[in-house]
Chain A
Amino acid sequence: MNFLSLFVLVPALMMMGLFVSRNRKQIQFVTATGATLLMILSGVITFMYLTERAVGNVAEMLFTADTVWYAPFNIHYSVGIDGISVAMLLLTSIIVFTGVFASWKIDPLPKEFFLWYCLLSIGVYGFFISTDLFTMFLYYEVALIPMYLLIGVWGSGRKEYGAMKLTLILMGGSALLLVGILGIYYQSGATSMNLYEIAKTTIPIQAQYYLFPLTFIGFGVLGALFPFHTWSPDGHASAPTAVSMLHAGVLMKLGGYGAFRVAIYLMPQAAHELAWIFLILTGISVVYGAFSAIVQTDLKYINAYSSVSHCGLVLFAILMLNQTAMTGAILQMLSHGLMTALFFALIGMIYGRTHTRLITEMSGLMKVLPFLGVSYVIAGLASLGLPSLSGFVAEMTIFVGAFQETDTFHRVLTIVACTSIVITAVYILRVVGKILFGVIQDEHHKHLTDATWFERISVVTLIAAIFVLGSAPFWISNMIGESVLPVITQLAK
């Protein structure tokens, strides 16, 4: 068995451990150990990957393994990773780890919560290590279903509505995907569903014309592509903290990753021809999300719309179809994953204390919650692209990359996308100024206690990751840049 499968196995073992756990202590032990293991595992994988590349292994995918799973349809369980998957695995592990600590005292039904939580992470991990189209799709579905229960049971506010809406819209997207994937398989005439086998064939251009939009929108829905993004604000607003973190932090990345790996990689001609339509849509996402965030009053809505804007930038950059912009897109996925998880963690912690998420009902929290306050400011600064934090590197790579496209259409869109750095500053500073600064208005807020140790673990880990990515981006950006190349070669065909 290939050791990449450990990423799926460890959460599965965690689930077993949870089955037999009898009290909260044991649950905490199982989840914390499992999450730590996953962190170590992805650290080791990253190290192995980099050493392998350093000794000159230039294969597209490393550590590959392949087992026939369902012969009649040539479905294989095939795994393998490149620099992009490594980056995504790292991200997932960090978010899963911090999510566990952020829901340390989850109530009620901690056991069931974590069971679904682990199933969700199985889906995500499996998606990132798979190279078989059908297995990818399968894992994708595995990641979606637990979401419904996690929000519906442990959520807050209009949770049934939010859960239903989120699941239905994402399911709608995956219906398009299924058609797209089957279409790709049959049209390519490949002998297996392996991505790299299919990439060797050429899908007829007429087929690409309808398969590209199907798959791009299918994944785009998850990446909050305008106008299919409306599940995001409602879904996030009602989701419990750790689920928001995992969902915005990792699950939305499945969209960008899939669009990149499936839609663009397999259908390069259509990507060239049709990119402009989606560039307009994503360009709208970027600015529209940011403008919507300015007037929201609920912290989670602000962050959800901000995600629309930031994830819009991911898809926007992918569609620029050049190496720099695509590298930037992957960096932006990482960066957005980390900082949005940090935001949702902090919002959850603040909500747990003040019992409100409305910025009009909070003020002066910096005085009573210095740790959470400072962390919120750091998250905000990362989001508005302060150098030395992750957002800056990602955005700059995207902008420089996008600027390599010389025609007026791309230029104008790039400049429009650039304006988001100003709008982001507006809504971030508005929130920080309203809830953290000033004088405390609400009497009850005067006696709040600052973060507990497990909350601190979660927050500090995320901040450290944001800082590392922002201050020492060279290794990760090189790793991603190399792995983007096959797609570029494919596009040049």
Chain B
Amino acid sequence: MQYTLLIILLPLISFIVLGFLDSNLKPKVAGAIGATVLGIITVLSYYTAFEYFTYHQIAGVYEKVIPLHVEWVRFTEFLHIDLGILLDPISVMMLVVITTVSFMVNIYSLAYMEGEKGFQRYYAFLSLFTFSMLGLVIATNIFQMYIFWELVGVSSYLLIGFYYTKPSAVAAAKKAFIVTRFADLGFLVGILFLSFYTKTFDFGVLTSGDASVFASTAGVSFMGISGMSWAMGLIFIGGAGKSAMFPLHIWLPDAMEGPTPVSALIHAATMVVAGVFLVARLFPVYEVYAPEVLHGIAYVGAFTALFAAVIACVQTDIKRVLAFSTISQIGFMMVGLGVSGYGGHEGLGYMASMFHLFTHAMFKALLFLGAGSVIHSIHNNELNHMGGLRKYLPITNITFLIACLAIAGIPPFSGFFSKDEILSACYKFSPYMGATMTFIAGLTAFYMFRLYYGIFWGKEHKHAHTPHESKFAMAFPLVFLAAFTVFAGWIPFGHFVTSDRANYDIHLDYTVAGISVAIAVLSIILATIMYRKESVVPQKLASCFSGLFKAASHRFYIDEIYIFITKRIIFKHVSTPIAWLDRHVIDATMNGLASTTQWTSVKIKDFQSGQVQQYAYVFLLGTLLIAGLVLFF
């Protein structure tokens, strides 16, 4: 399956061509190159998936295929970074997800970004991102993953800051990069720990189940926590940064400053699930050697899901609502992994988590693209500037509704199936976890329909010009992704992706499904009452819980805490004193040495006056003195 190399290389070539030619190309040509390349690799990925899932199953277990593998740089006898391609169920699934969403976004952007300055640059960056993200998922070893991990970070930085003359966009890009970089520090140190004890970076060796690999970690512990837990915990911090887990989530809502198609691609469907992918990739290691970290992941995921869902209920910028919804949904995926065991029915959570990643990528990209379509038509992000748009944007309205139903977990839409499996896995883990997650699912349905009604129903707002439905290039991706959202739930996902790569038949748990659907429907009804027509209920509720409402609107002041730490502590109380110390103590010592020398020279320079009389005088005095001394003693 060597042709899979093309899937990686083509976007890279596209980036190089578009990047170098930049404004020498006509925007149309640049867009065509970008979209065509993505089209080709999408087809290739589908073909890869087809070939892989059809022909590479041995005795009911999908094998790992490594069509390409080269050594890139060698560190020690054992440790070397390789570059290669690893095909297994999750990486093939990710290929499909990334290329599909990226292809749709490339088409969509043709119309959305039309006439923007830097159109060519935009397409170059999109290609760079696609290349990096694909490289990340097919990585054969953890260091290759880290390399592409950094590259997606930079692509994200460049794309968030695409409107570089806008200060808020520049600040958001910087924040996103630095927060994730901080998390990557954990990732890096984690890799260093893990590789030191296991003597390998290779995923194949790490996840082979061979206990001898981890033999030297036995008995290693630090501050009462085992060495493996440290390593895997630190690696998870990297994943938590990229996947916007609490408290490292703060960059994601700000990242919405980027163009909306970018938010759909990077900050909803692909890059932000990299953390989930990382945990899934190392799942066998987590499960056996660091189970307490895995449980920690479940709790972090659950808390983040709840936290973000509460905030999503009160945000007024439609992209921010979607951003918090993304954070919350990634929380679901993390919970799925966290509560999972290995193999067969035990591995339900793993399967569900990957399933949810798959369906979520599609419907969340659809939601963002729909939001982009709305923003494009009225040039505003704020909910209170919207309302009654369903008449003007029929396609957007229908597709957005489909996505809302999917994320709310209403059958037969795809979100229902994947979320339901996660909930089943949670109930198996503990009833409390199950109940919490069901409650959050209800919240999800509520805030999504608050958003939906706010945009498409309610009181019509006056606009400068009549909003109109988007062009074909924007409408097509909406319809395509909507079709995916409707049908993806029926994919027998357990036949493709499971924790042990063997077949698993999904059985709906009707009790769990019934409860969650009932709660989702109730939440939707509640949202309908509150937001379909103008009503005083929301205001009343807000004033009732004014403290909570205010805190949630301010995103529970986490950003303020960060600003306090960075601006106040790091900048004012660390960096400034260090710089002061450097100038006024260390450098002053050096200058002091120089001026002391100078001072001494000035003081003793009179001894070298050059006047013969003075020399004679001193000579005479000296002689007399010595003579006197000799005479008297």
Contacts and interface: CB of A to CB of B under 8 A. Distances in A.
Interface of A: 165, 168-169, 227, 230-231, 234, 288, 291-292, 294-296, 323-324, 364, 366-367, 381, 384-388, 392-393, 396-397, 399-401, 403-404, 406, 414-415, 418-419, 421-422, 425-426, 429-430, 433, 436-439, 473-474, 477-478, 481
Contacts of A422: 178, 181-182, 185
Interface stretch (B162-170, B261-269, B301-309, B494-502): B162-170
Interface string B168-179: 001101100110
Nearest to B167: A438
A399 B188 contact: yes
B405 to A, nearest CB: 41
A477 B73 contact: yes
B196 A404 contact: yes
A471 B11 CA distance: 17
A387 B150 contact: yes
Contacts of A396: 75, 81, 143
Contacts, number: 123
A419 B178 CA distance: 12
Q: Which of B154, B173, B193, B575 has the most CB of A within 10 A?
A: B575
A437 B164 contact: yes
Interface residues of B, number: 50
A364 B157 CA distance: 17
A295 B575 contact: yes
B75 A387 contact: no
B528 interface: no
Contacts of A169: 590
Please classify the interface of chain B as helix (H, G, I), strand (E, B), loop, or mixed, using the class held by over half of its residues: helix
A400 B76 CA distance: 9
B579 A474 contact: no
B564 interface: no
A392 B188 contact: no
Please classify the interface of chain A as helix (H, G, I), strand (E, B), loop, or mixed, using the class held by over half of its residues: helix
Nearest to B578: A291
Nearest to A399: B192
B195 A400 contact: yes
Nearest to A287: B578
A474 B181 CA distance: 26
A324 B586 CA distance: 33
Nearest to B201: A400
Contact of B586 (A230, A399, A415, A473): A230
Q: Which of A366, A438, A478 has the most CB of B within 10 A?
A: A438
Contact of A433 (B171, B193, B196): B171
A369 B407 CA distance: 46
Shortest beta-carbon contacts, A-B, top 10: A387-B147, A230-B587, A437-B164, A294-B575, A437-B170, A403-B192, A295-B575, A400-B75, A429-B174, A425-B181
Contacts of B174: 429-430, 433
B590 A165 contact: yes
A426 B590 contact: no
Nearest to A301: B579
30 contacts: A227-B586, A231-B590, A291-B574, A291-B579, A294-B570, A295-B575, A295-B576, A367-B165, A386-B150, A387-B148, A387-B151, A388-B151, A392-B147, A396-B143, A397-B73, A400-B192, A403-B192, A404-B76, A414-B192, A418-B189, A421-B184, A425-B178, A426-B178, A429-B178, A433-B174, A437-B167, A438-B165, A438-B167, A438-B170, A477-B74
B66 interface: no
A354 B517 CA distance: 64
Given A421-B185, A437-B170, A481-B74, 16 more contacts: A168-B594, A227-B589, A230-B582, A230-B587, A234-B587, A292-B578, A324-B75, A324-B79, A386-B154, A387-B146, A393-B73, A399-B192, A414-B192, A422-B182, A430-B174, A436-B164
